[in-house]
């Protein structure tokens, strides 16, 4: 399906990934973009770019019906990612919200729905080489488990109703605008609060934002992608190398390291305090194990079957990231 002159709905349009998708759809594909937003104030920049902003919420099915009307494709990038929100908030957004947008898209007979999942569906304790065919499993972490449930819902729709869905499973998405993998680490590094675990020898699997957007466009335009699920991952490097590069951007020579067991003890302590205060847990202990993981994710089928190749390598991606950080005054 060619995207040129097609009407495309983007959910999560004011977020990191969604806003980049909107900008490039308008600039490069000549699509008529409809941006779903809960807060019109946050969508003003998208409107200036030429997007049609529609106010709605994944929990409001009627608003989704209005949003998908006359659309040829839906790119579903909305998700709850914060680790301090309640489990119910994750369920509402990641599971119920995904089910709602799929139902609305089916009723509107859209030609393609791209569901952005995550490598988190393979579990936080993944080991060795992970491919698209590797078993998926829960992690007892609200983000990971609700992304898994949302993907299950998408797979059921594919299987039972032959819905025109493509599932993409990106790894850690970094680059200009990324909160979790760019802005937060830089701020912590500058404050001296960034730590590596076990020397940072574990593997970080990463994808540059524009490489992910390229994969999204490919999934929209190549009919061979229909009904399938693909890992999107540029490669793997050590946490020491990735965050060491960010430390050098901030003028720091090195990052401190602590044993993993000490990090887990600290996480349990913080969560204990949160429980006493009636707060949700702050840090899931399993997530710290992820920071020492040796798993490597392979996007072989995306490359072999659809011919995808990441255009921006890690060195260039970090260079562009640093330029943006300086532009916005974070360096």
Q: What is the rounded distance in angstroms from the CA atom of residue 29 to the CA atom of residue 9?
A: 14
Q: Return the half-sphere exposure (C-beta side, CA atoms, 13 A cut-off) of residue 201.
A: 5
Average pLDDT for residues 230-246, to the nearest whole number? Answer: 96
Does 187 reside within a domain? no
Look at 271 and 71; give whichever has higher pLDDT.
71
**Is residue 166, in this structure, part of any structural domain at all?**
yes
Q: What integer is the mean pLDDT of 237-266?
A: 91
| 257 belongs to a structural domain | no
CA end-to-end span of the chain: 41
- Residue 302 counted as domain residue: yes
**At 264, phi and psi to the nearest 5?**
-70, -40
Whole-number percent of the chain with pLDDT over 90: 75
Query: pLDDT tens digits, residue range 287-329?
Result: 777 777 889 999 999 999 999 999 999 999 999 999 999 999 9
According to the model, what pLDDT value does residue 284 have? Answer: 67
CATH code for the domain in which residue 54 is found: 3.40.50.720
What mean pLDDT is predicted for residues 166-179? Answer: 97
User: Residue 57: inside a domain, yes or no?
Assistant: yes
Encoding tokens for residue 106?
């089916």
pTM: 0.94
Which residues make beta-bridge pairs with 106? none
**Can you give the pLDDT at residue 254?**
86
Assigned domain for 288 exists = no
Number of helices and strands in the chain (H, E): 13, 14
67: phi then psi, degrees, rounded to nearest 5: -70, -35
Q: How confident is the model at residue 80 (pLDDT cuts 50, 70, 90)?
A: confident
Q: What is the DSSP letter of 216?
A: H
Q: Is residue 300 part of a domain?
A: yes
**pLDDT (mean) for 122-141:** 89
If DSSP states are collapsed to H, E and C, what string results for 18-30? Answer: HHHHHHHHHHHHC
- Tell me, what's the pLDDT at 294? 87
Per-residue pLDDT, averaged over 106-123, amounts to 96
What are the pLDDT digits (tens) for 45-77?
999 999 999 999 999 999 999 999 999 999 999
Q: Which residues pair with 95 in a beta bridge?
A: none
Contacts of 138 (CB under 8 A, 6+ apart): 123, 144, 145, 148
pLDDT at residue 286, rounded to an integer? 66
Task: Identify the pLDDT of residue 218.
Answer: 97
* Share of residues in the chain with pLDDT > 70 (%): 96
User: How big is the chain, counted in residues?
Assistant: 331
**What is the model's pLDDT at position 10?**
98
pLDDT (tens digit per residue) in 194-217: 989 889 999 999 999 999 999 999
Is it the case that residue 282 has pLDDT exceeding 70?
Answer: no
Percent helix, strand and coil across the chain, each rounded to 5? 50, 15, 35
Residue 228: pLDDT over 70: yes
Residue that is written with structure tokens 């969508």 in the block = 43
| DSSP-assigned beta bridge partners for residue 205 | 236
The answer on pLDDT for 84 being more than 60 is no
Please tell me the total count of domains within the chain.
1
pLDDT at 17: 98
Measure the CA–CA gap between 112 and 106, rounded to whole angstroms.
10
Cα angle vertex 125, ends 95, 321, to 5°?
75
Where residue 88 falls among pLDDT bands split at 50, 70, 90? confident
Q: What pLDDT is stored for residue 259 in this prediction?
A: 87
Closest CA to 10 of 146, 105, 118: 105
Domain membership of residue 116 as a residue range: 7-178+205-236+295-312
Checking 133-140 for CB contacts under 8 A at 24+ apart, the result is: 139/286, 140/284, 140/286
CB of 240 within 8 A of CB of 187? no
Please report the beta strands in 148-250, taking only residues with DSSP state E, as ranges in sequence order: 165-170, 172-174, 195-197, 203-208, 229-232, 235-238
What is the 8-class DSSP label of residue 95? I
* 314-325 tens-digit pLDDT: 999 999 999 999
Task: Identify the DSSP state of 85.
Answer: S
Q: Tell me whether residue 25 is in a domain.
A: yes
């Amino acid at each position: 399906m060619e995207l040129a002159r097609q009407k495309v709905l983007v959910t999560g349009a004011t977020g990191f990934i969604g806003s980049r998708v909107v900008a490039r759809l308008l600039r490069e594909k000549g699509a008529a973009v409809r941006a779903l937003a809960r807060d019109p104030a946050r969508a003003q920049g998208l409107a200036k770019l030429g997007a049609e902003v529609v106010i709605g919420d994944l929990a409001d099915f009627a608003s989704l019906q209005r949003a998908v009307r006359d659309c040829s494709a839906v790119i579903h990038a909305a998700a709850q990612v914060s680790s301090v929100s309640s489990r119910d908030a994750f369920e509402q957004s990641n599971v119920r919200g995904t089910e709602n947008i799929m139902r609305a898209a089916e009723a509107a007979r859209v030609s393609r729905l791209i569901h952005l999942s995550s490598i988190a569906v393979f579990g936080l304790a993944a080991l060795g080489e992970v491919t698209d065919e590797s078993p998926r499993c829960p992690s007892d972490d609200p983000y990971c488990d609700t992304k898994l449930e949302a993907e299950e819902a998408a797979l059921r729709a594919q299987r039972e109703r032959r819905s025109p869905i493509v599932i993409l499973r990106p790894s850690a998405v970094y680059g200009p605008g990324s909160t979790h993998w760019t802005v937060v680490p830089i701020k912590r590094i500058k404050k001296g609060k960034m730590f590596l675990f076990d020397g940072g020898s574990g593997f970080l699997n990463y994808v540059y934002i524009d490489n992910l957007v390229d994969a999204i466009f490919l999934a929209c335009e190549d009919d061979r992608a229909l009904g399938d699920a693909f890992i999107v991952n540029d490669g793997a490097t050590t946490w020491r190398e990735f965050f060491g590069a960010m430390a050098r951007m901030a003028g720091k020579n090195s990052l401190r390291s602590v044993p993993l067991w000490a990090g887990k003890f600290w996480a349990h302590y913080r969560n204990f305090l949160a429980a006493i205060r009636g707060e949700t847990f702050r840090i899931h202990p399993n997530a710290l194990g992820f920071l020492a993981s040796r798993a490597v994710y392979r996007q072989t089928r995306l490359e072999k079957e659809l011919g995808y190749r990441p255009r921006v390598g890690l060195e260039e991606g970090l260079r562009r990231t640093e330029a943006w950080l300086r532009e916005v005054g974070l360096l």
